[in-house]
Structures are given as structure tokens and as C-alpha cells.
Structure 1
């Protein structure tokens, strides 16, 4: 299937089949793909947590407002966290990046101060989200990106040091009766002329 066809058929799942689980092989592929996500200057200020254990999924579902049902039904939950400690981030890039990339960070990002640095770090994690959703579609896996979660409670459950939860993605296989799938509810997007221009 072409990428355009994937874009036309991919959608945000609202209900999942509880009988259909993602294979370990595909989960391992997703882990490798997400590890290879692009980021500005190859900064990689992230951590990705794959949750398969049903008891753990239930804990996160209870801290996810109206998204709890999706998480409980889905095969897996993937949590996207951002590195929240600037000192540790700077140590990481000094150890792993070339001098040109480090210079870019120092000259164009660091000078803006802590709030802007942390906003920039979050942007990198959002880049990985698009990459991940596309990978899921290519592997025939349905997905539901979710910002509607209680981030602080996720942080407590994860007990991550120096990271903060940004959002999560439920993944699995759709319930065949999910009314949100494009075959039942056609995708709605703005017209090309409204969102794309050529200069």
C-alpha cells in the first residue's frame, strides 16, 4: 500500500478488539522504529514506555479520563516522556553529538532560557509521534494518540527520574464496529487550497 493510501485509511480508533493482540515481533519492530525517530540536531530528549501488562494498563486507564476504555481494550499502551532535566540533557548531547550540533543548541536554543529550552525539547517528542503513528499504519496496527491523560499520575506510576509524561498512544486492532473508521465515517479534512500553498 502506498503512503498516500495509508494516509487515507489511517484513523484514530475509538474502540478496539479485546481478542486481538499485537505480536511480540511487531512490538519489537515498533520499538526499533521509534528509537530511530528524527529530532532536531539528533537531540533525542525522550523515553518511550511500552505497556503490555494488563494490571499496569488498568492503572494508566484509571488516570486517563474518557480514554480509559480505549486503553483497557487496546493491546498495548505506549507512553511518550520528555527529558525534563536540562543539565542531564546537555550532558547527553555533549557525549553523543558532534560539535556543530552542540554549537547550534548553545547559540540558538540555550540562550532563550529554561522555558524555551523545555518547550523545544517537547517539540522533539511530538515529532516522534507522527513517525510512530505512520509506522503503526504501515504495520496494519490501529492507534489512538491521547493528550487526555492525568500526566502527574502517569509520572507517579512510571516513577521515571528526570522525565515528564507528555502523551500516550493506545495501539491494537480496531473493533470491526468502530464507527470512527473511514469506511463508516469518511475522513474530514480542509481543502488543499486552504492548507497548502505554492510560492
Structure 2
């Protein structure tokens, strides 16, 4: 299936089959794919946490608003977190990035207010989300990106030291009766002419 067909067929899964689990090989591949996600200056200000343990998944589901059921049904929950300590981030890039990348950060980003720097860091994690959802679609894995989580509660439960949970993605196999799948409910998008321009 080419990428256009994948884009037409992928959707945000609302109901999962709790009896179908993702294989260890699949999860290992997804972990490697996420580790290869793109980010500005290769900054990688993230931590990705894969959760299959049912007790822990259920605890996180309980602080996920209306997403509770899909998390409990899904095979795995993947939590996307961002580094929340700017000094820790600066130490990380100093140790791992080439001088040119560090100089770019020091010249163009470090002088900005803390809130703007943290916003930039969060944007990098969102880049990885698009990469991850596309990977899932290419591997025939259903997914549900969710910002509807209690971020601070996630941080406490997962003991995220120096990181902040931004959002989570449930993954697994859809319930065949999930009413949100494109074969039942047609995708709704603005007309291409309204959102795409060419010059």
C-alpha cells in the first residue's frame, strides 16, 4: 500500500480489541522507529515510555478523562514526554551534538524567555508523533493520539524526573465494530483547495 492509501485508511481508533496484543517484535520495531524521529538540530528533547503492564495502564487510564476505555482495551500505551529542565537539556546537547548545533541553540534559542524555549522543545516531540502515527499505519497497527490526559498525574505515576508528559498514544488492533473507521464513517477533511496552495 502506498503512502496516500495509508493516509486515507488510517484513523483515530475509538474502540480496540482487548484480545489482540501487539507482538514483541512489533514493539521493538516501533521503539527503534521512535528513536529515529526527526527534530530540529537533532535536539531529541524527549522520552518515550511503552506500557503494556495492565495494572499500570489501568492506573494511567483512570487519569485520562474520556480516553479511559480505549486505553484499557488497547494493547499498549505510549507516553510522549518532553525534557522539562533547560539546564539538563543544555547538558545533553553539549555532550551529544556537534559544535555547530550547540552554537545554533546558544545563539538563537538560549536568549529567549524560558517559556519560549520550552515551547520549542515541545514542538520537537510533536514532530515525533507524526512520525510514529505514520509508522503505525505502515505496520497495520491502529492508534489513538490523546492530549486528553492529566499531565501532572501521569508524571507522578511514571515518576518522570526532569520530564513532563505531553500526550499519549494507545496502540493495538481495532474492534471490528469501531464506528469511527473509514469504512463505516467517511473521513471528513476541509477541501484540498482550501488548505493547500501552490505558487
TM-score range for the pair, normalised by the shorter chain length: over 0.9
- Whole-angstrom CA distance in 2 between matches of 1:24 and 1:137: 17
Q: Deviations over 1:40-99 (max 9, x none)?
A: 000000000000000010000001010000000000000000000000100110111111
Q: Give how far 1:100 is off.
A: 1.1
Whether 2:148 is the aligned partner of 1:166: answer: no
Unaligned runs of 5+ in 2: none
- Whole-angstrom CA distance in 2 between matches of 1:104 and 1:161: 27
Q: Deviations over 1:105-150 (max 9, x none)?
A: 1111111121110000000000000000000001100000000011
Alignment of 1:18-33 (within 5 A): 18-33=18-33
| Aligned twin of 1:191 | 191
- Whole-angstrom CA distance in 1 between matches of 2:111 and 2:5: 43
- Whole-angstrom CA distance in 1 between matches of 2:195 and 2:95: 40
SS in 2 for 1:14: coil
- Whole-angstrom CA distance in 2 between matches of 1:112 and 1:87: 14
| Aligned twin of 2:96 | 96
| Aligned twin of 2:37 | 37
- Whole-angstrom CA distance in 1 between matches of 2:197 and 2:111: 33
| Aligned twin of 2:60 | 60
Q: Give how far 1:190 is off.
A: 0.8
Q: Which runs of 4+ in 1 moved over 2 A?
A: none
Q: Give how far 1:170 is off.
A: 0.3
| Aligned twin of 1:121 | 121
Alpha-carbon RMSD: 0.5
Instruction: Report the number of matched residues.
Output: 199
The worse-fitting range, judged by mean Cα deviation, of 169-178 and 101-110 is 101-110
| Aligned twin of 1:156 | 156
- Whole-angstrom CA distance in 1 between matches of 2:74 and 2:191: 32
| Aligned twin of 1:79 | 79
TM-score relative to the length of structure 2: 0.99
- Whole-angstrom CA distance in 1 between matches of 2:64 and 2:137: 24
SS in 2 for 1:177: coil
Q: Deviations over 1:20-59 (max 9, x none)?
A: 1000000000000000000000000000000000001000
Unaligned runs of 5+ in 1: none
